């Protein structure tokens, strides 16, 4: 095919309703992933988001087993699971990475066993693991839009406190900030963002979807505010370009989006490092 005809094909493809839903869903989840990811990596919760992503398969398998909508089951499951893991991390003397490894590995094993009792999982396991953004429905878009508004409002109203907690927690404690409350609220938001991004990105890739835009933004930012905004922007832009690449070359959408994020990160590494947050 010629180059102009390929462009026409992609444009016509994005005029289809399911592609438009996927496009909007990609932008919404991309913004949320970048927004929450900017705080996640500075608070050293990257592995926590990875554990949430892998464990989400257990919530999906429970939904399948009960014959319920996986999106409806996954969100409350993600919140309950995240709070339970947070409680265990505070109460046990085990190393954080070791405990998280045990949790997400065992959850993944239980999920696979559970899915073995569900007939339809065999044809869709690949989509669960690597995502299928074309399967995004209007209900998913509503959830994503509402969650994005909640994230923006909560983080916007408490931005100074979030900055202090992220960059200097002892000082935040000394100033009387309720660290436990803010940490719990953030973990709940992170679990919801991870849970709602699973359908588009997949269990195996959702952690990278949250972490990579924030890492790229950190290499390019001068201030904390610009870092947060740039991280959200990279999340949205990479979702758009990833979907275009996916449509152009007929590639899986989730891996295409994450690969686009990786490309942006590599470009950021080759540019002068303006970021002052690391110093």
Nearest alpha-carbon partner for 273 in 234, 232, 213, 215: 215
Number of alpha helices (DSSP H) and beta strands (DSSP E) in the chain? 13, 0
Residue among 220, 216, 258 at smallest CA distance from 41: 216
**Cα 40 to Cα 183: distance, rounded to the nearest angstrom:** 11
Q: Cα(197)–Cα(140) distance, rounded to whole angstroms?
A: 10
Instruction: Report the predicted TM-score, pTM, of the whole model to 2 decimal places.
Output: 0.86
Spatial contact of 115 and 64, defined as CB atoms under 8 Å apart: yes
- Determine the distance from the C-alpha atom of residue 118 to the mean position of all C-alpha atoms in its chain, rounded to a whole number: 26
How far apart are the C-alpha atoms of 65 and 70, rounded to whole Å?
10
Domains of the chain in sequence order: 22-270 (1.10.3470.10)
Phi/psi at 236 (5° precision): -70, -45
**pLDDT (tens digit, 9 = 90+) per residue, 57-95?**
888 888 878 877 776 788 888 888 888 888 887 787 777
In this prediction, residue 222 carries a pLDDT of: 86
Give pLDDT tens digits for 192-250: 998 888 878 888 888 899 999 999 999 999 888 899 999 999 999 999 999 888 888 88
- Compute the distance between CA of residue 52 and CA of residue 243 in angstroms, rounded to an integer: 24
The string of pLDDT tens digits covering residues 155-193 is 888 888 888 888 888 888 888 888 888 888 888 899 899
How would residue 6 be classed by pLDDT, with cut points 50, 70 and 90? low
Q: Is the per-residue pLDDT at 278 higher than 50?
A: no
Average the pLDDT over 107-119 and give the result. 80
| Amino acid 136: pLDDT | 83
């Amino acid at each position: 095919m010629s180059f102009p005809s390929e462009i026409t094909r992609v444009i016509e493809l994005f005029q289809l309703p399911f592609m438009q839903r996927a496009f909007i869903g990609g932008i919404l989840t991309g913004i949320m992933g970048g927004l929450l990811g900017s705080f996640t990596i500075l608070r050293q919760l990257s592995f926590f988001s990875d554990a949430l992503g892998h464990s989400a398969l257990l919530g999906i398998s429970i939904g399948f087993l009960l014959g319920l909508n996986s999106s409806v089951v996954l969100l409350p499951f993600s919140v309950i699971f995240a709070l339970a893991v947070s409680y265990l991390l505070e109460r046990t003397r085990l190393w954080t990475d070791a405990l998280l490894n045990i949790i997400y590995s065992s959850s993944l094993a239980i999920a696979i066993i559970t899915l073995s009792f569900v007939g339809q999982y065999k044809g869709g396991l690949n989509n669960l693991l690597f995502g299928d953004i074309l399967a995004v429905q209007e209900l998913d878009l509503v959830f994503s839009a509402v969650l994005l508004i909640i994230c923006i409002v909560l983080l916007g109203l408490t931005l100074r406190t979030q900055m202090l907690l992220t960059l200097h927690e002892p000082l935040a404690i000394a100033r009387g900030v309720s660290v436990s409350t803010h940490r719990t609220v953030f973990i709940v938001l992170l679990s919801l963002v991870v849970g709602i991004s699973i359908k588009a990105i997949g269990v195996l890739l959702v952690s990278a979807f949250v972490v990579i835009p924030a890492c790229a933004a950190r290499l390019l930012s001068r201030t904390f505010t610009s870092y947060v905004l740039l991280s959200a922007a990279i999340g949205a832009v990479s979702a758009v370009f990833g979907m275009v690449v996916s449509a152009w070359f007929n590639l899986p959408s989730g891996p295409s989006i994450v690969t686009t994020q990786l490309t942006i990160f590599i470009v950021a590494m080759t540019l002068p490092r303006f970021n002052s947050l690391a110093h």
